[in-house]
Structure 1
Amino acid sequence: MQGQSADGASVSAPAPTGRALVILPLLPGETSTRQPQARLAEAVALAEAIRLDVPHCEVVKVARPDPASLFGRGTAERIGGMAEAFEADLVVIDHALSPVQQRNLERICMAKVIDRTGLILEIFGERARTREGQLQVELAALTYQRSRLVRSWTHLERQRGGFGFLGGPGESQLELDRRLIAERITRLKRELEEVRRTRGLHRASRQRGDTPLVALVGYTNAGKSTLFNRLSGADVTAQDMLFATLDPTVRQVPLPSGRTIALSDTVGFISDLPTQLVAAFRATLEEVQAADVILHVRDVSHPDSEAQKADVERVLAELGIDAENDPRVVEVLNKTDLLPATARGALGMRLTNQRMMEGAERAVAVSALTGLGLDDLLDTLDRRLSSGWRVMELSIDLADGRALAWLYAHGQVLDRRDEEGMARLRVALDPADAARFETQFAAG
């Protein structure tokens, strides 16, 4: 398969890593706000994110879950027959499987079987680029792998990215593997504790420098990295692909008032996000907990936008953040360029009415791709970060450049008139900064 590079040259697409069937089991009593076909499409997209060729996907109703194989032998054999017919060497089950169910399905289907958690970990293993990201993903993968050990330490021998769940030499030296994995997990936790300490020092340094932290969160592929690049001028990977970027990044971004924020891009969330990942990415997610403003980026053009919102809010709740009531959370309704004109108009009216009723902006409509609405978003950040500030009327000698520079660096100058050698200023300052100014400078 061929595509085009940015300069128009023909380039070859990466070769597929294998052929996979994708099966979504529907179990009795399960509740989901998503339609089965939308869930199946997401599972296929996850498989394609690591270049798996998916010749067939299917929703399978399970009347009575079998503890031994989830589906029961007859259905499992039918799935195995499809794997053979489609020449698939992998079966992706978009559901959690116990180690026993996974091994039994592999024996029945005569193919490698991987569940949703294993697939997401495989994607993360391939995508992590920074040392911190790799440490976090490896810890999550080994925690998951330790309970299974259907492949022995395979990620040390792989020829591709990922963590070896898609293939390997088989079950050998299991006791040695268990000991090696346990020792490696202990080392990883120590290294990640150092990462947490370093991140804490960086946060403390930013706070001492009066640099507010703004964290981006959202469902994977909601457009966080595109928005991050637009606001910061950075070049973080941004593709129309699930989990296109994993590694946490922080950049300085100026606001209209002249003050600077630290903007942090975080890993994308997804429904049924493996608990191992939430735990392993604790150091990164602490950036969200410590943020002065949390921007929840949503793809409003997606048919499951509301369900995706609920999934993100569930993960935030695990971090102790009540998205509905936490005043730090602002929804960024992204990809408005993909909405029909009538839907865009209705969204604008709804947000205007919401602001009038609540007296605060809880949501901003933007298109990170085209830049539409980004000025409104920056203004909203300015207002959010300035709420609770003191507004001071000051007269500063024009010769006192140090005091004037300090005010512009730490506050928001709302009005200025220069007359009779004095700068007459109306300035909004954080209460702590106002006290510091009064201590450091003689203000008239």
Structure 2
Amino acid sequence: MIEKKDIDLEKAVLIGIITKDQNEDKSKEYLDELEFLTYTAGGEVVKRFTQKMERPDPRTFIGSGKMEDVRRFIQDNEVGTAIFDDELSAAQERNISKILNVKVLDRTNLILDIFAQRAQTSYARTQVELAQCEYLLPRLRGMWTHLERQKGGIGMRGPGETEIETDRRIVRDKIALLKERIKTIDKQMAVQRGNRGKMVRVALVGYTNVGKSTLMNVISKSEVFAENKLFATLDTTVRKVVIQNLPFLLSDTVGFIRKLPTQLVESFKSTLDEVREADLLLHVVDISHPNFEEHIESVNKILGEIDSSDKPTIMVFNKIDAYEAEPFDETDLEIEKTEQHYTLDEWKSTWMAKVGNNALFISALNKKNLDDFKKRVYDEVREIHVTRFPYNHFLYPDYDDTLPS
């Protein structure tokens, strides 16, 4: 029996390509993520289309034959949306819309839509609106295709051009207004951060849907919204946390994602001030995801873009309860052992070799190894605090001394 909430899901097809830089496995993984994004946005994927190409077609992204396959499937199955895994140019979007005659979105547009749904505060809504306007500006011409369909230049060239230019001016003015509004809110938030005193600041960072909000709830005993969807948390949440007798500030930030739209990175840089001003980063990783190491690279890339890659960082490998290694038969000489066959102990050895004791393995949901996590965070925060206030270190004894005997 289909639940009521499933009836209203918008039917969509996904389109991706396989290139020398993006092999079949990589393309499948990106489309898996795109399907999760579609589900998060309120859609239902009914079919995927992929095509092997040297590079995307500059006119229609995929070839004309494959595009005809997509068009026929959409027409036969009453699909209302086509979603492409990479960002489309304004011309590509316009050409594809004419062929398919349905709503055409790309990955960027889809993520912007999810952000628009998830933004709760006026600050987040302003940032999303700015990103949407910057995405929209070069695509305005496609909104005036009704003028192009009227043949004949006399009396038609001027009005269309004027309307497009008028819209461009309106959008540019809107962008300027939103940027000023963000500057004003940034100043207010800077004052708020300054009023928090000299407490050590710890920020949770990581790929989207790795369990940051769940960990925040467990550690701070607060109720931060957590859901098994991408970008469940959009607004930064800050809580005062006390481990034993040591207080510090813990912030939960928006999750990162591969192919994150440039517009969002730019407009959300101010939100990520919590990361920039943090004394310690807790990089949360979903170790149960088969490509978690690529997620780590994506997060590190964005941390570099916001000048935060050199901060003290603890790698927190979450969801150990959900981790399953692929079976490996050592007697089968035809199968080579890869990272997909690693046990948790082998992953621990691998990452301990990389980052020393700055790697922790926990389950926030099932509260596994949380005592080790708290002790490691306590030790790190205490060291930062003692360095900052050398004469107050006697207030915070070693973690083991604070435990009951």
Q: TM-score, normalised by structure 1?
A: 0.76
Amino acid at match of 1:71: I
SS in 2 for 1:176: helix
Q: What secondary structure is seen at the aligned counterpart in 1 of 2:113?
A: helix
Q: Percent identity?
A: 35
Cα separation, 1, equivalents of 2:388 and 2:60: 67
| In 2: Cα distance, 1:374 partner to 1:57 partner | 40
Partner of 2:17: 25
3-state SS, counterpart of residue 25 of structure 1: strand
Q: 2:375 matched to which residue of 1?
A: 379
- Helix, strand or coil: the match of 2:255? coil
- The answer for the alignment partner of 1:226 in structure 2 is 214
Aligned to 1:242: 230
Partner of 2:156: none
Gaps of 5+ in 2: 145-160, 326-341
1:40·1:59 contact (CA, 8 Å) conserved in 2?
A: no
Q: Aligned pair 1:138/2:129, yes or no?
A: yes
User: Larger Rg: 1 or 2?
Assistant: 1
Q: Secondary structure at the match of 2:314?
A: strand
Q: CA deviation at 1:152?
A: 6.0
8 Å CA contact 2:108, 2:260 repeated in 1:
yes
- 2:251: which partner in 1? 264
Q: Which residue of 1 aligns with 2:8?
A: 16
Q: Kindly indicate whether the alpha-carbon contact (under 8 Å) linking 1:214 and 1:295 is maintained by their aligned counterparts in 2.
A: yes
Counterparts of residues 328-367 of structure 1 (less than 5 Å): 328-340=312-324, 343-348=343-348, 354=353, 361-367=357-363
Q: Flag the structure with higher helix content.
A: 2
Q: Which residue in the other structure is 1:107 paired with?
A: 98
Hey, what's the Cα distance between the residues in 2 that align with 1:241 and 1:2?
20
Q: Do 2:207 and 2:299's aligned partners in 1 also have CA atoms closer than 8 Å?
A: yes
Q: Assess, with a 3 A threshold, how the Cα gap between structure 1 residues 32 and 217 changes in structure 2: closer, same or farther.
A: farther
Tell me how far 1:327 sits from its aligned partner: 5.0
1:347: Cα distance to partner? 4.0
**Alpha-carbon shift at residue 377 of structure 1 (Å):** 1.7
Partner of 1:163: none
Report the CA distance between 1:96 and its aligned residue: 1.4
Deviation at 1:178, TM superposition (A): 1.8
Cα distance between partner residues in 2 of 1:218 and 1:390: 27
Contact kept? 2:18, 2:24, Cα under 8 Å = no
Partner-residue secondary structure (3-state), 2:284? strand
SS at match of 1:83: helix
Contact 2:17/2:27, CA 8 A, preserved across alignment: no
Is 1:98 the equivalent of 2:89?
yes
Task: In structure 1, give the amino acid aligned to 2:122.
Answer: R
Within the alignment, does 1:71 sit opposite 2:62 as a pair?
Answer: yes
Mapped to 1, the partners of 2:99 and 2:53 lie a distance apart of 17
Match of 2:396 in 1: 412
Assess, with a 3 A threshold, how the Cα gap between structure 1 residues 64 and 361 changes in structure 2: closer, same or farther: closer
* Alpha-carbon distance between aligned partners in 2 of 1:292 and 1:386, rounded to the nearest angstrom: 11
State the secondary structure of the residue aligned to 1:251. Answer: strand
Higher strand share: 1
Equivalence map 1:277-356=2 (5 Å): 277-322=264-309, 326-340=310-324, 343-348=343-348, 354=353
Q: What is the deviation of 1:19?
A: 1.3
Q: Distance in 2 between matches of 1:205 and 1:34?
A: 49
Question: Which residue matches 2:45?
Answer: 54
Aligned to 1:193: 183
| 1:260–1:280 distance in 2 versus 1, CA, 3 Å | same
> Does 2:196 match 1:215?
no
Aligned to 2:366: 370
Task: Say which SS state the counterpart of residue 316 (structure 2) adopts.
Answer: strand
Tell me, in whole angstroms, the C-alpha distance in 2 between the residues paired with 1:95 and 1:33. Answer: 15
SS state at 2:272 partner: helix
Number of residue pairs the alignment of both structures matches: 367
TM-score, normalisation: structure 2: 0.83
Q: CA deviation at 1:141?
A: 0.8
Q: Distance in 1 between matches of 2:121 and 2:311?
A: 32
The alignment partner of 1:20 has SS state of strand
